[in-house]
């Protein structure tokens, strides 16, 4: 009943965001007493679900995975007097968009990974695609909302003169937003397929290990463990910690056992068995209040040799006690034997000795 002439998709060169415009329903129809709004849906080819936006505007900018075909559809929703207050939907109008892809799929870079270290810098690495000539030159470009245009990496990680990674600093403005990245390449003899990814860097954070881990024993059955948050720009309130304990029970080989996962930076561990040596290790990662996921830091480890201290004391005390008591015994024996020796019994043979 009411249709549009066309829907236009344009690529502003932001590595993922596309602009989609459409025309209002033909003006021949009068919707004066009705509100006109649009139901806009979009996804990248292969996704099952569509993302939905309701709007009264005739233009949206949304993000896609540009390595796949962008698919959109729009329908008009009318409601008001002209439709007797029933919401009326038009048919869908579909449109698709594909960046001019270049080269074979096997020429795309592989094993692309990024880690946001200490919320300070993002390090991304990749490996050359399978079908890649030696003379290839890779470039990484990125964009997030707030930048006028896509920016090229200015600090590449290189291996034998080839760019195989990039370190991006100063991305705090990109936290909690979509960061669009494209790794493309050029080679004299072949066209290469660009890689497109969209990241949320707060979900890729890896903190440094916790610092100043101190283990103490206020009572024989208690271990008190405390540490401070890692250095770097990781917000301390964004961290959770995992604590593990290994106790050395004489012959048994100590193995790590989980004790706690917590946000506090101290913990008291109650120990059923008072072992010789207790080792505690702690690592951190972003907690669920700040991100969906993240990477664990390396461990910080500290051992506390409770009994070794006692052992040392024993080691000093026992000989003292032994020598004291033996000289006392000797003294008593000598006294006794001296008394007895007049009876003619040899000292060493004396049963009493
Ligand atoms: C970090 O980025 C901001 C804009 O997001 C810019 O104003 C500032 O100069 C940058 N700082 C450094 C050290 O590059
Ligand atoms: C790689 O992508 C950037 C950003 O879209 C573009 O400016 C550049 O020309 C591309 N390079 C190649 C070799 O395709
Ligand atoms: C304590 O030690 C005993 C014997 O070494 C062992 O059987 C038991 O499982 C230990 N308990 C704990 C809580 O480690």
Answer whether 14's CB lies under 8 Å from 180's CB.
yes
Report which protein residue has its CA nearest ligand 2's atom 1.
184
Answer whether 107's CB lies under 8 Å from 187's CB.
no
**pLDDT higher than 50, residue 346:** no
Instruction: Report which ligand 1 atom has the smallest distance to the Cα of 172.
Output: 5
Ligand 3 centroid to residue 244 C-alpha, Å: 17
Ligand 2 centroid to residue 186 C-alpha, Å: 9
Ligand 1 neighbourhood includes 231 CB (under 6 angstroms): no
| Mean pLDDT (the chain, rounded) | 84
User: How does residue 29 score in pLDDT terms, banded at 50, 70 and 90?
Assistant: low
Ligand 2 centroid to residue 184 C-alpha, Å: 6
Ligand 1 centroid to residue 7 C-alpha, Å: 38
The rounded percent of the chain whose pLDDT value lies above 70 is: 81
If one counts every other C-beta atom within 10 angstroms of the C-beta of residue 99, the result is 17
Report which protein residue has its CA nearest ligand 1's atom 11.
170
Residue with tokens 């998709």: 9
Q: Which residues line ligand 2 (CB under 6 A)?
A: 13, 139, 141, 150, 182, 184, 186
User: How does residue 349 score in pLDDT terms, banded at 50, 70 and 90?
Assistant: very low
Instruction: Report which ligand 1 atom has the smallest distance to the Cα of 170.
Output: 1
Instruction: Report which ligand 3 atom has the smallest distance to the Cα of 249.
Output: 5
Ligand 3 neighbourhood includes 249 CB (under 6 angstroms): yes
Tens digits of per-residue pLDDT, 136-160? Answer: 899 999 999 999 999 999 999 999 8
User: How does residue 250 score in pLDDT terms, banded at 50, 70 and 90?
Assistant: low
- For the record, the structure tokens of 244 come out as 């593990």
Least confident of 8-12, 176-180, 255-259, 304-308: 304-308
- DSSP letters, 121-181, are EEEEEEE--SS--TT-EEEEEEE-BTBSS-EE-SSEEEETTEEEEEEEE--GGGTTS-EEE
Ligand 2 centroid to residue 228 C-alpha, Å: 44
**pLDDT higher than 90, residue 101:** no
- Give which of 21, 24, 29, 22 is closest to 1, Cα–Cα: 29
Instruction: Report which ligand 3 atom has the smallest distance to the Cα of 273.
Output: 1
Least confident of 42-51, 114-123, 223-232, 276-285: 276-285
Tens digits of per-residue pLDDT, 294-321? Answer: 999 999 999 887 554 444 444 444 444 4
d(CA 31, CA 295): 54
Ligand 2 centroid to residue 22 C-alpha, Å: 29
Answer whether 203's CB lies under 8 Å from 195's CB.
no
Tens digits of per-residue pLDDT, 166-185? Answer: 999 999 999 999 999 999 99
Please report the domains of the chain, with CATH numbers, ordered by start residue.
7-97 (2.60.40.10), 105-205 (2.60.40.10), 207-304 (2.60.40.10), 309-349 (no CATH)
d(CA 272, CA 221): 7
CA distances to 124, 141, 184, 232, 276 from 115, rounded to whole Å, are 7, 17, 20, 14, 39
Categorise residue 330: left if φ over 0, alpha if ψ from -120 to 50, beta otherwise: alpha
Ligand positioned closest to the Cα atom of 155: 1
pTM reported for the whole predicted model: 0.77
Ligand positioned closest to the Cα atom of 186: 2
Ligand 3 centroid to residue 273 C-alpha, Å: 6
d(CA 92, CA 34): 20
- The reported pLDDT for the residue numbered 261 is 94
**pLDDT higher than 80, residue 216:** yes
Q: Residue 5: CA atoms inside 13 Å, Cβ hemisphere, count?
A: 5
d(CA 14, CA 141): 9
Answer whether 85's CB lies under 8 Å from 33's CB.
no
User: How does residue 28 score in pLDDT terms, banded at 50, 70 and 90?
Assistant: low
């Amino acid at each position: 009943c009411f249709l549009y002439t066309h829907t236009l998709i344009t690529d502003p060169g932001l590595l993922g965001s596309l602009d989609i415009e459409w025309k209002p329903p033909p003006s021949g129809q009068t919707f004066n007493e009705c509100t006109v709004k649009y139901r806009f849906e979009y996804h990248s080819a292969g996704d099952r679900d569509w993302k939905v936006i309701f709007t009264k505007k005739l233009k949206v900018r949304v993000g896609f995975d540009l390595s796949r075909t962008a698919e959109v559809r729009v329908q008009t929703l009318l409601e008001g007097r002209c439709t007797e207050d029933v919401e009326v939907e038009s048919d869908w109008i579909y449109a698709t968009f594909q960046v001019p892809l270049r080269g074979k799929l096997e020429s795309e870079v592989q094993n692309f990974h990024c880690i946001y270290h200490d919320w300070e810098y993002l390090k991304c690495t990749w490996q050359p695609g399978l079908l890649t000539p030696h003379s290839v030159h890779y470039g990484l470009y990125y964009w997030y909302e707030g930048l006028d245009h896509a920016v090229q990496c200015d600090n590449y990680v290189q291996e034998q003169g080839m760019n195989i990674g990039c370190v991006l600093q100063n991305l705090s403005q990109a936290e909690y937003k979509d960061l669009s990245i494209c790794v493309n390449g050029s080679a004299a003899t072949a066209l290469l397929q660009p890689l497109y990814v969209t990241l949320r860097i707060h979900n890729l954070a890896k903190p440094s290990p916790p610092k100043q881990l101190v283990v103490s024993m206020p009572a024989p059955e208690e271990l008190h463990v405390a540490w401070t948050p890692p250095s770097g720009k990781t917000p301390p309130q964004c961290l959770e910690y995992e604590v593990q304990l290994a106790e050395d029970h004489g012959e048994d080989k100590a193995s790590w056992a989980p004790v706690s996962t917590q946000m506090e930076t101290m913990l008291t561990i109650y120990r059923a068995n008072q072992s010789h040596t207790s080792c505690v290790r702690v690592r951190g990662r972003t907690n669920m209040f700040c991100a969906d996921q993240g990477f664990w830091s390396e461990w910080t480890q500290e051992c506390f040799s409770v009994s070794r201290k006692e052992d040392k004391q024993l080691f000093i005390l026992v000989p003292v006690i032994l020598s004291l008591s033996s000289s006392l015994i000797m003294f008593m024996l000598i006294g006794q034997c001296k008394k007895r020796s007049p009876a003619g019994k040899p000292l060493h043979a004396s049963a009493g000795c």
